[in-house]
Amino acid sequence: MTGVDLRIPRGAIVSVMGASGGGKTTLLNLIAGSLTPSRGRVMVAGQEPTRLNKNALYQLRSRMGMLFQHSALFTDLSVFENVAFPLRRHFSLPDGILRKLVLMKLEAVGLRGAAGFLPAELSGGMARRVALARAVIMDPMLILYDEPFTGLDPISIGIIATLIKRLNDALGATSVIVSHDVHETFSIADYGYILAGGRIIAEGTPQALHDSPSELAQQFLSGNPDGPVPFHYPAPCAYDRALESDAVAGEER
């Protein structure tokens, strides 16, 4: 990533969009302190993750929630234990309190009745909701979403989008959504960035992005195969290679 100046206001839902390989997931890793920038710095709640010692970084990350692209549930743990995992990792809570907290979050995503299920018994949309409950179990100040709508049917996408908005407002949190789903993301985002080649090519409200003069941004938002992003990956001209092959074959004869 080069020359990226990105600001995420407290309490906002901010989308980061762009074609695959544009730097979106790299940005999430930088925010979480998993990667160290070669130049510049990343500030989260007034702290620079890469300059923190192990314990301080651990404490900062405990104030973040993460919803992974494919839910990343522990397959051998029940829905209840998947959601309870962060609480057990960070605190020693009495069983009664832990149970109330977990069931409260499962109720918030509509899956209190599925607490005893294993991940293999869940649909894709249900698994994503469990992952969302786990991401917010500790009432984080910042929630990171890595492709929250990927692989879901239209109904499940709508449910997840609604839950992201409701939970962000209820918790007073800040949300960063990395996604390719333009319609659903724009329906809940306050502000957005479009990345290409590791750079920001457009930013603004959803309406401002739709009106962006950037041809790259317009091609991404419209899904048009014709534009600055070529259909063909750069390669020697197929016609030239065919001529070369014919010439070689002629010499051999």
Model confidence pLDDT, tens digit, residues 136-190: 999 999 999 999 999 899 999 999 999 999 999 999 999 999 998 899 999 999 9
Is residue 230 pLDDT above 80, yes or no? Answer: no
The overall average pLDDT reported for the chain is 89
Place of tokens 């070529």: 230
What is residue 233's predicted lDDT score, i.e. its pLDDT? 62
According to the model, what pLDDT value does residue 197 have? 82
Residue 130 has pLDDT above 80, yes or no: yes
**Model confidence pLDDT, tens digit, residues 4-43:** 888 899 999 999 998 777 788 888 888 888 888 888 889 9
Domain boundaries, the chain: 13-214
Q: Is the pLDDT of residue 234 over 80?
A: no
pLDDT in the model for residue 122:
96
pLDDT, mean of residues 123-144 = 96
- pLDDT value at position 247? 59
Calpha distance 29→244 (Å, rounded): 46
pLDDT at residue 246 greater than cutoff 70: no
Tell me which of 25-29, 194-198, 228-232 is least confident: 228-232
Lowest mean pLDDT among 37-51, 108-122, 136-150: 37-51
Looking at residue 23, what is its pLDDT?
81
- Which CATH number, 3.30.70.3420, 3.40.50.300, 3.20.20.70, 3.40.640.10, labels domain 13-214? 3.40.50.300
- Residue-level pLDDT at 76: 97
